Chain A
Amino acid sequence: MPSALINVPAKAKRGSVIEIKTLMSHIMETGYRHTASGSVVPRDIITSFICRFNGKEVFRADLYPAIAANPFITFFTTVTESGKFEFEWIGDKGFSETTQASITVE
């Protein structure tokens, strides 16, 4: 059951640097493991993460099999106007999750 956690400050001063934290629950199955009977456990990972602010991309990350389960991604950005952050995780087996958070710039 996928679920996203995000931590975006509710308020920020114009132009200040803010920290954003995200965590997506996901097994991140590498595709390199075998079952007891020898068959490969198919790869099932998140392949990309995108953050947009008011529709414009501000951060992107590509993810690979070496990344552990439940990827925790934290990054810094600046904001000059109030608006909405949108977060998107895309992965194998049609995985797609989105969430969003608003920020007020003073």
Chain B
Amino acid sequence: MAIDGVTLQILANHCAAATESMAHTLVRTAHSTFVKETEDFTTGLTTVTGKTFASPFDLGATWFIGLDYERALKLVKSYEEGDVCMTNDPYSGFVCTHSPDLHLWHPIFHEGEIVCFAVGHVHNTDVGGAVPASLSRANVEIFQEGIRVPPSKLYRAGKLNQELVDVILMNVRMPEQNWGDLKAQIASMRTGARKVKEMIARFGIDVFRGGTEMLLDHAEKQARRLIRKIPNGEYFFADYIDEDSVDGYPCRIAVNMTVKEEEIVFDFSECDPQVTASLNIPTGGNPRHVLLMVPYQYVLYTMDPTVFLNYGLLRPVSSIIPEGSLVNPQYPAAVGMRSLGVMRLQSCLMGAFSQALPDLIPAGQGDGGPLINVRTTDTKTGRKLMANLNPITGGAGATAFRDGTEGSGAYFSFLKNTPVEINEAEVPVKILRYGLAQDSGGAGYWRGGTGTTLKFQTFSPNTTITARNRDRCLFTPWGASGGGAGKPSSFYRNPGSNREVNLGNTDVVSIDPGDVIEITSAGAGGAGNALAREPWRVLKDVQCRFVSVLAARDEYGVVIEGGEIDEQATLALRERMGVATKVSGFGFNAERLEFESTWTRSNYTVLINALLKLPVDWRFFVKHRVFESVDNLRLSGAKVCEDDIKAALRNVANDYPEISSELAFS
């Protein structure tokens, strides 16, 4: 039925009110810190076919706008009034993206017919499995990542499936918390249902049904209109995760983005194969899977903050995701740390968008800092405890118009930190430093936001530190328009002492009483030519200790003596430095430039094309063998070319007749 624009806008407000109310109910009644403080959850309403048409704006994680529940909904045979269904299996319906995320959906009936679903998820701190909190890069198959519930009925016609609950709670480390959060989720479903019924009473069933479809259509129209503002073209970008497994080789995420009129295609064919670690991004082959679409939605919203944030935004886009690649892994690949994969994917897509919309897209965001969890014993009480310390967030990338935000605003804009005083009062740790990391932001006409550092000491034996999402020790956030790359992240045990250990990208470490841990996130990329930055801004940065006197000289060519700018020396120095400066294009750090001098795009293409022909199980292994031999070649000083890659592949083929036919070259 036809619904006029005014009614649609009013209905949109009511739908938003419904999902906001669901979110507030969830936050209010939840038990865990993850929900209450970290806000790692979603709530929403979907159409009968599972397309999310409304979600809250102020609360919850920002990664899941327009989540598509269709495949998961279909895995439940039939629905009755009063059902609440759940799943946390990343391979059943591809709505859940790692096992701690417990998704619920609740059919809402009107006169015996389903008219929509209330949906939502909560990140549970632990769902069992090999490690506390269920997530580690070292996991290699889904079975290590905790209990998995396929799409099942938690409530059948209003009656709780107690046996299912009992099975879940028996398999997790903190059952009271999971159960508490689950009850809050159920309360949120009920709020959603009540609100939908109120809407049907107010607008009538026809307007409600037609209107929810129109909300999707309207978002699609908005998206198409915005995409038209993006110049047509092909935009390629690649970024890397430092290690594709514990102490592994770099993992490359690459996209070829094609913008044509009002549609966009993301081609991930040049992405690495799925890895034998938990960094895989489970999309189930859905070309519009929400995990692939996060940056796209941020871009649209940034272009026009009045867009309706729903599934309709995704309709004009599609992607190419080869089976068995990092962005479309096959069961039973581990996926727990997909957040690290997704963050790098975001960086990669932003690099592509940045070429199309240089004035809108910030340089590479500071990341690679972890979410830190401490498991220790309180020596005074003997009590074992597990607690989240601060997320070590990076700074925001510089834009074409201003410096990046310090220490936050990157890929986790929704996260909150934990006050130092709360940490010290609750956990037997002493915080030695929490603040911004000087000189970590990439230099540029606009400076990248600085990263953060957390330094702390623990006092009990058998203390375990988990540092999820550790990365960016090697390849750092990129600069834009001639701006410099951000500085790398780091992770040290007992820094500055004779027991210093560089832990690099390690994500789980056991430490001794009195040990000191220091973690720093990467700084964000800068934008524009650093030598053109007005000296007074550099001086202000020095006064604010975002930049040291040394870096002011070396990176900005600004000489500061006794707290003042030496103008003549600055002029002279900038002139000398000017010769070698880049004034456009991406700014990559030396490690990346060196890596890419060996692994050029054409060399990598040879490798990827060969790997894609192999059975999925072999790809990771063969990649490692090829990297091994190319490394030897590189260390011998040789320039690596496509023939070298082919030769390396042939050597592997010779060793393994099982795959020699797939690796045969003309």
A and B bind: no
